[in-house]
Each structure stands twice: as structure tokens, then as C-alpha cells.
Amino acid sequence: MSSVLPSSFSWGFDPKIEDNTNDQFSKTNNQQRSIDNFTSERINQEALASLQSGASLKSKRKHTEDDQDSNTSTPRKVIHKKSDKFRVAKKEISHKRSRVPRIVGQPLPTDRIIEVLDKKNLQHLLTNLVNLHPEITQDLYHCAPKPTVSGAVDILANKVDNILNDLPYKVDASSEYAFLRVKPLIDDFLSALSDYTLHFLPPVETQPSNSLEFLDSATNLLHKLPNFAKLSNNYFKELAYEQLSHTWCICLKEFIKGPNSANNAALLLLINNNWEAKLKKHNEDSNNKLESVVEYFREEVSWLNDEFREHPKVSNNFSPHNSPLHSFKTKNLLNEFR
């Protein structure tokens, strides 16, 4: 056939030979692919068989262990994992905590509230209670202990000390500035003085000696109040002296002519305790603001001067240091006034 074809168509190789070569390569590739597929299928079958054999062995071992456990008399020890132990312990702890009773806060009892309060807060509490419930005022009077003369005098003395300590140092103590600075304190002292004075008057105070004792100390405290240059700033102090002068006369009259006095023993007691000198001293310190008290006392003891004129021997023997009140019977009578 090559001889028939022209030379231009002679390419140097036979077309049929090339086709045979391609067919050979394709056959070779197909064979290789079939071998690879067979090999992979063979490997998969072997792996599946091994897994099945392992599972069967595991099941056989499990059945064997179960048979051994059923045949043995002692129970098998169960081994818990660490996480299981933690979970059990946590459950037990939570179960124990649930048994603890619940404790909640509660307010203090009334006795503890009063116990923890200081004097200022306790006064504030009682004042608020009385303002909210005025009907308990009478109960407060009955339940509260009776104020003593010494206790009342101590309170007034503290108020006077506060006034004197609050006066300015670099400014004249009698100036207008000093008065305005201590005016609230003076008002507080005079208000307290009025309240305590009324409390120690009869019939609230049944012992006239307590009334006189309080007036003596209260008048001494009033003397300590500062005097100011402006006369109007001394108005309330002057008014306090005027009120005390009337109070002195009332208490002296109750002491001398009261129901407990007998045979002028009370008046003799006043003379023996040198009350006339005390009243004169108060009058001098107040710039004669208590002159009426001194006059009243002189009128009451004037009968003794008449007795002394009629009986000179008695007048010679009687003195504050040599008094007829020193006898035994008179001492028993004096105890009734104390």
C-alpha cells in the first residue's frame, strides 16, 4: 500500500502501528485500574472482617466475665471514676446545706434600743414620743424617778459653765457681740431655771427644806450670769431676780407657817442655820434685787426681838451658837423638816 501512495504522504511511520500502541496503553491502564479496585475492595473486606472478629471477641469476653461474676459468691467491686465521686460528694454537701435553718435579721428589743442610746439621743427619743403621743405624759410622770435637788443644780451649773465658756476672749464680754453670741444659751438656762424652780415649790415638793436648798443654789448660779453694757440685754436676768424674790417669800412662808411647823421651831431652825446672813448675801450680789426677801425674813423674826426686850436673860443666852434648838426634843423636831 505504501508503494501505491505518493511520496508526499510518506510521513516516516505506519499509521496502523500508532493505533496499536495506543490500544496497548489503554489496555494497560484499564488493567491497572481493575487491579487497584480489587486491592481496595480486598482491604476493605479484611478490615471489616477484623472489626467483626474484634467485636465478637469483646462480646465473648463480656459474656465470660458475666458468667464468672454470676458464679462467684462475692460481689464485684465497682470502681467509680473520679468525676463520679465528685458528683456524689457534691450532692451530699448540697443535701446537708439544705438542712441548715434559715437565719434572718430582726430589730433590737426595746430594752436594747434604750441601752445603746446615750443621754442626748435618749432625751430626743422621749421628747419625740411625748410629742407623738401626748396622752402618755401622765404615765411618764408616774414612771419617771423624782428629780433630786443635787441633780437639778448640776444641770443648771453645766448650762452656766457653757455660757461663760462661750464668751469671746478678744472682745469685751459686756459688748453687744458677746450678748448675741451667748443669748441662746442664756435663754436655755433661764427656761430650765424656771421649770426646776416651779417643780421644787409646794405642793409638788412636800419638803420645804428642799425648796430652800434649791433656791439657795439656783440664786448663786443666777449671780454668775454676765452683765452687759446695754441695759436691755440684762432684762431677762432682772426678770429672773424678780421671780426668784417672790419664790423666796413663798418658800419661807411655807417653811415657817406650814402644817409641819410647830411652836416657831422652823423659824428658830432658820435662824440657827444662819439663813438671814445667806439672804443678805444674795441681796448684795443681786444689787438689792432681793430686798423684799430680806424684809420678809426680818418681819418674821421681829417677835424674837420683842421677846428679847421682855426677857433680857433669854436674849443674853440666845445666839446662833447657843440655841435652844440644841436640846434633844428640838433635834427630833428638826428631823421632820429635813
Residue 164 has pLDDT above 90, yes or no: yes
Q: Are 194 and 188 in contact (CB under 8 A)?
A: no
SS3 322: strand
Q: Please list the residues that pair with 322 across neighbouring strands.
A: 319
pLDDT score recorded for residue 320: 42
**Domains of the chain in sequence order:** 110-144 (no CATH), 145-337 (1.20.58.1590)
DSSP 110-130: HHHHHHH--HHHHHHHHHHHH
More confident residue, 200 or 84: 200
Pick from 18-22, 63-67, 159-163, 240-244: least confident: 18-22
In percent, the amount of the chain with pLDDT more than 90 equals 46
Pick from 26-40, 192-206, 244-258, 292-306: least confident: 26-40
Residue 336 has pLDDT above 90, yes or no: no
Of residues 287, 175, 275, 201, the one with CA closest to residue 237: 287
Of residues 270, 251, 256, the one with CA closest to residue 325: 270
pLDDT digit string, tens, across residues 171-180: 999 999 999 9
What amino acid occupies position 149? V
Write the CB contacts of 209 (distance below 8 Å, at least 6 apart in sequence).
Answer: 255, 337, 338
pLDDT score recorded for residue 99: 72
More confident residue, 86 or 189: 189
The mean per-residue pLDDT over the stretch 255-275 comes to 78
Residue 309 has pLDDT above 60, yes or no: no
**pLDDT band (50, 70, 90) for residue 317:** very low
What's the CA gap between 4 and 126, in Å, rounded? 147
What amino acid occupies position 204? V
Q: Please list the residues that pair with 319 across neighbouring strands.
A: 322
pLDDT digit string, tens, across residues 79-100: 555 555 555 555 555 555 567 7
Of residues 220, 212, 191, the one with CA closest to residue 283: 220
pLDDT digit string, tens, across residues 34-51: 555 656 666 666 666 665
